[in-house]
A = this chain, B = another copy of it.
Amino acid sequence: MTIADPQARPRGATLEEVAKVAGVSRATVSRVVNGSPRVSGEVRRSVETAVTQLGYVPNRAARSLVTRRSGSIAVVITEPTGRLFSDPFFPRLLRGISGGLSARDQQLILLMPESPADTERTATYLAAGHVDGILLVSLHGDDPLPDRIARAGIPFVVGGRPLRGHAASFVDVDNRGGARSAVEHLLAAGRTTIATIGGPGDMGAGVDRLAGYRDALADAGLTADPSLEIAGDFTQGGGAAAMEQLLAARPDIDAVFAASDLMAAGAIAVLEAAGRRIPQDVAIVGYDDSPVASTTRPRLTSVRQPIEEMGQEMARLLLAAVDGSDPVQRRVILATELVRRASSAGRRVP
């Protein structure tokens, strides 16, 4: 094997070698490295010296083999295309997750299955127990993954409320509350005919934002009107198409709540082309507070979400579940914040 291996990278020191240098047994070095309290101060110091001197770093594979823990967490992103490329949601979420994980010395394994075959391979990989826990992001209603890994008994946490009632912990932003506050803001500005361009009906974020929209209307004593509701796909093109339909059906619209900034940007372009002034004729509010919100003209009022925090919280929940210290299912909902900009400014003169 020494001969056959083309690489022969220098292998680091082993426990055995550290033990020899420190003049103790392998077991004692292991105890020191893993912070066991049952080691005398003197021995501990001499082991630590040897560790530093040899630059010893534990071999994770060997450790995994016996502990049956991989020391890694999978993050699975199953997003066809749209949202993934169009807003900085994922980088921010990943950063939050990464931060939450690194403190505990867990590695983040990123899985982005594209094809159904990929998804199948991913499911097999995950169910085989190669990771200690799983973070599921951007779940659609029909995703088979949660069931598969639940059956395999691997702890997992979902980002965003899962639509089907999986017995799973999840972390979500308050989509319903955020949408409600956006629409309340429009109502307070004197708008009366408020349409919404919703998200996909198979995603929690889509469903909940629509619910929040309806909540606000109901509170104001208005009844929901199907001709004012249309589903988009979170993309700019989708937003534009939806806006056109909306405008054709209801030319009397004086406000639009779009469930994403990109869709709002698409809607703005269409409204503009139709000769509507924003915000004078039609006020518009988006969702996400993405960078796009400050490049539209007028700049876009939007609902800001604590994405990094969401990632961090997901990591925290999952690690607790992996430790077994918290077998309970938890649902964490994080608050959103309405960021007011020009697109919804000014009171309409009735």
Contact = CB atoms under 8 A, between A and B. Distances in A.
Interface string A44-84: 00000000000001011110110010101001000000001
A90 B91 contact: yes
Given A85-B92, A265-B295, A65 B65 contact: yes
A10 interface: yes
Contact of A68 (B9, B60, B87): B9
A109 interface: yes
Contacts of A238: none
Given A61-B61, A65-B61, A92-B85, A262 B291 contact: yes
A221 interface: no
Interface stretch (A26-34, A121-129, A194-202, A329-337): A121-129
A11 interface: yes
B291 A86 contact: yes
Given A65-B65, A295-B236, A91 B85 contact: yes
A102 B118 contact: yes
A207 interface: no
Contact of A130 (B60, B68, B109, B125): B60
A88 interface: yes
A292 interface: yes
A348 interface: no
Nearest to A68: B11
Nearest to A58: B128
B88 A85 contact: yes
A10 B262 CA distance: 45
A149 to B, nearest CB: 11
A324 B60 CA distance: 23
A112 interface: yes
A110 interface: yes
Interface in A271-294: 291-292, 294
Contacts of A9: 68, 129, 153-154
Interface stretch (A16-24, A93-101, A160-168, A184-192): A93-101
A107 B108 contact: no
Nearest to A90: B91
A111 B97 CA distance: 11
Given A86-B88, A108-B110, A236-B291, A65 B68 contact: no
Contacts of A291: 85-87, 236, 262, 292
B7 A72 contact: no
Contacts of A70: 60-61
Contact of A84 (B6, B68, B91, B297): B91
Contacts of A262: 291, 295
A141 interface: no
A206 B149 CA distance: 44
Contacts of A95: 84, 112, 114
The 5 nearest A-B residue pairs measured at CB: A61-B64, A57-B128, A6-B324, A98-B112, A265-B295
5 contacts: A61-B64, A84-B88, A98-B114, A108-B109, A109-B109
Given A9-B129, A95-B114, 8 more contacts: A12-B128, A61-B62, A84-B88, A85-B88, A90-B91, A110-B110, A236-B294, A297-B297
